Amino acid sequence: MSNEITPTTGTEQVTDRPIVRPAVDIFENQDELIVMADLPGVLGDDLAVDYDDGKLTILGRRGCPVPDDTKLVSGARAEWDYKRVFSVPDTIDADRIAAEFDMGVLTLHLPRHERTKPRRIAIQTS
């Protein structure tokens, strides 16, 4: 049994848009794991986080809006999809996973089950 969240490998091409793995930092304290993912250019409506059978999936779509009544003369910006999948340890309480999205950074809070939190054991003496 692992206490670490583990990135899975491999991606699949599901559209004609490139799939990019977002940069992620993972932190831990005694109460939870915290995942912070950079998703620049993604709007909240174009972002999803799914949990299924021990896998946590981050999905996002970065678009490049075009102003009305214009045509592209020169372009270097690109549209793409973000996707990153993690294996979640069974020490995490999946029913209490929470997410926040602010200024292009997704923060996931993965709380540990109470039974798996570190604790001090009382010693009985005579």
Res. 12 pLDDT band, cuts 50 70 90: low
Residue 11 has pLDDT above 50, yes or no: no
Q: Show Cβ contacts of residue 50 under 8 Å, excluding neighbours closer than 6 positions.
A: 56, 57, 59
Dump strand ranges (E) for the chain.
6-7, 19-20, 24-28, 32-38, 42-52, 55-62, 80-87, 98-102, 105-111
pLDDT tens digit string along 65-94? 888 998 888 877 788 999 999 999 999 999
Query: Between 6 and 33, whose confidence is greater?
Result: 33
Least confident interval from 4-13, 35-44, 52-61, 92-101: 4-13
Q: pTM for this structure? A: 0.77
CATH numbers and ranges of domains, the chain: 20-64+78-116 (2.60.40.790)
What six digits make up the tokens of 125? 């003496």
Residue 9 has pLDDT above 70, yes or no: no
